[in-house]
Amino acid sequence: MKEIGKQFIQGTRYPDYSTVDLVLRVPEPPHELPVQKDQLVIKLPSPKKFKVPDIPVRQAIERWEPVGFFSRSSMTLKELSYLLWCSQGFKKMVAESIQVRNVPSGGSRYPLETYFVASDVEGLEAGLYRYLPMSNRIVAERIDSGLILEMSTASMNFKIMTRAAVTFIWVAVPYRSTWALGNRGYRSVLIEAGHTCQNLVLAAANIGYEVFPTDMFHDDLIVKLANLDPETQWPVYLGAVGKVERNVTIA
């Protein structure tokens, strides 16, 4: 077990780029997972039209503390759109197929898919959804109110997940990165989950929400919940979003 870390670092050192699929002219993988014909696609409100308070970055950072509980939390569709856009939003295409989003990405490959379990979001039925960054839409993957309890079991945190308005699930599609970067791309996948969650933390602070980031979850249960292909799609990080009642006095 103790050798896994060393093996990972050694196996993901800079490769001989002449051997990567990009150079070998293997077709590029798609930038987003496809939407099936029978799936419901929902257009989100424009995040650029959503007005938020101007909170200094320093204040947002200084105020952040680990979250131990949430109050019963709800969220508007405009707020959800803003958080999705801040954490993985698409800006533009450059040089034919190179994307620019609101977070850094090694080789501009963007290997993460953003799934989320909506518990209490205005206008959305409870269930699992996936964000489509290039069009700022979401696709309904599984409408099921029982997913909130499944999420709490999978993440080993009942009191947080059942009270969050929404819980983000960042799922890696590693081949998007390894196609261009070789095994080095596996490092990018994990690093970018951190970039994405930090953007979420800062954006949520702007609109009065707290984020509970966690990598403590049962991989197999998340794979089952989101109906992922465990060979090509890996859950790497979670972020529950909700509100905390501050300065509560218990008599």
In a domain, 69, yes or no: yes
* Average predicted confidence (pLDDT) for the chain: 92
169-193 residue pLDDT tens: 999 999 999 999 999 999 999 999 9
Which pLDDT value is given to residue 251? 39
The range of the structural domain enclosing residue 166 comes to 60-242
Higher pLDDT, 221 or 250: 221
Asked whether residue 122 is assigned to any structural domain, the reply reads: yes
CATH code for position 167: 3.40.109.10
Question: What are the pLDDT digits (tens) for 146-160?
Answer: 999 999 999 988 889
Considering the domain boundaries, does residue 66 fall inside one?
yes
pLDDT of residue 35: 96
Whether 24 is covered by a domain: the verdict is no
HSE-CB at 169 with a 13 A cutoff on CA atoms is 32
Q: Is residue 70 part of a domain?
A: yes
How many folded domains does the chain comprise?
1
Q: Is residue 168 part of a domain?
A: yes
Q: What is the pTM of this model?
A: 0.93
pLDDT at 247: 54
Assigned domain for 33 exists: no
Q: 114: which residues sit within 8 A by CB, 6+ positions away?
A: 84, 87, 88, 130, 131, 133, 168, 169, 170, 171, 196
Residue 240 has pLDDT above 70, yes or no: yes
Q: Is residue 113 part of a domain?
A: yes
pLDDT band per the 50, 70, 90 thresholds, residue 218: very high
Average pLDDT over residues 6-33: 92
The pLDDT tens digits for 45-95 are: 999 888 888 888 899 899 888 888 898 889 999 999 999 999 999 998 887
